[in-house]
Amino acid sequence: MDFQTASGAKLSVTQASFVDSMALHKALLASVKGLPLAQDITKMDLTVLKDMVVAAATSPEVEKALFRCAERATYESVRVNEELFDDQKIGNRAREDFYEIAWKVVEVNCGPFFKRTFSRLKGALAGAPTASPAS
């Protein structure tokens, strides 16, 4: 899939192998384990969303799995790996786009795992009884 980053750079992301995509999926889930998840992620408290992003961004397991999946991506026709961000010509621009690059790699590789899971979870949560506040 081709994307244009906010800086205008061309990013191409190809889905990694099932094993590599699943490793990223598992690492992301493990990094946010125990954090509260709202029924509607678009209505989640920003503090919780921030905590989820920080947990994933600081996880060595997520980083390793992310770069494993990113091996099949290119940024301005340069392979996405750790060396990209030190490249003399585009390294600083790539650093500015780092989180956008990471998000697109996650979206392409983990999106299929989450697609039906969250829609089914949302439906199940909608039918679940809610606790009433204590009087």
Instruction: For residue 71, name the pLDDT band (cuts at 50, 70, 90).
Output: very high
Confirm whether 25 is domain-assigned. yes
Does 6 have pLDDT greater than 70? yes
Q: How many domains does the chain have?
A: 1
Share of the chain above pLDDT 90, in %: 58
Q: Nearest 5°: phi and psi at 90? A: -125, 5
Q: Nearest 5°: phi and psi at 3? A: -135, 160
CA distances for 11 relative to 1, 41, 68, angstroms: 8, 26, 16
Listed residue (3, 5, 32, 1) closest to 90, CA to CA: 5
Confirm whether 108 is domain-assigned. yes
**Residue 54: its pLDDT value, please?**
85
Confirm whether 60 is domain-assigned. yes
Does 131 have pLDDT greater than 50? no
Whether this prediction's pTM lies above 0.95 is answered by: no
Confirm whether 134 is domain-assigned. no
Confirm whether 78 is domain-assigned. yes
Does 135 have pLDDT greater than 50? no
| Domain range for 48 | 2-127
**Residue 13: its pLDDT value, please?**
97
Taking the CA of residue 68 as centre, how many other CA atoms within 13 Å lie in the half-sphere pointing to its CB?
A: 16
**Residue 38: its pLDDT value, please?**
61
More confident: 128 or 95: 95
